[in-house]
């Protein structure tokens, strides 16, 4: 992947606000969105977010720290 690969680009977002779209959980059809400050990640896209907010179609939940499992990630975008 080298210094132009996708993980290199994501590395530039450490310490910044990111938006993460997740697969629906619990058999619901709704996608979930998490936003927060990216503190760390690994090659599986497991992520540690601070000041995180989890949003679904009808709820918004605030979290101090949130660990996102990479298997659930669909899209990551710097905000």
pLDDT for residue 8: 81
pLDDT digit string (tens) for 26-54? 666 667 899 999 999 999 999 999 999 99
pLDDT digit string (tens) for 50-72? 999 999 878 899 999 999 999 99
pLDDT for residue 28: 60
The answer to whether 17 and 78 are in contact (CB under 8 A) is yes
For the segment(s) 2-78, the CATH number from 2.30.30.100, 1.10.260.40, 2.30.42.10, 2.40.110.20 is 2.30.30.100
pLDDT above 90 as % of the chain: 65
DSSP assignment of 10-53? HHTTTTSEEEEEE---TT-S--EEEEEEEEEE-TT--EEEEEEE
How is the chain split into domains, by residue range? Answer: 2-78
User: Can you give the pTM of this predicted structure?
Assistant: 0.84
pLDDT for residue 45: 94
Residue labelled with tokens 């660990």? 67
């Amino acid at each position: 992947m080298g210094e132009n690969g996708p993980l290199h680009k994501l590395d530039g977002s450490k310490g910044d606000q990111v938006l993460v779209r997740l697969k629906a959980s619990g058999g619901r059809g709704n996608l979930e969105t998490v936003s927060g400050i990216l503190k760390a990640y690994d090659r599986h896209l497991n992520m540690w977010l601070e000041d995180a907010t989890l949003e679904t179609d009808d709820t918004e939940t605030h979290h101090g720290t949130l660990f996102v499992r990479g298997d659930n990630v669909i899209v990551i975008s710097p905000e």
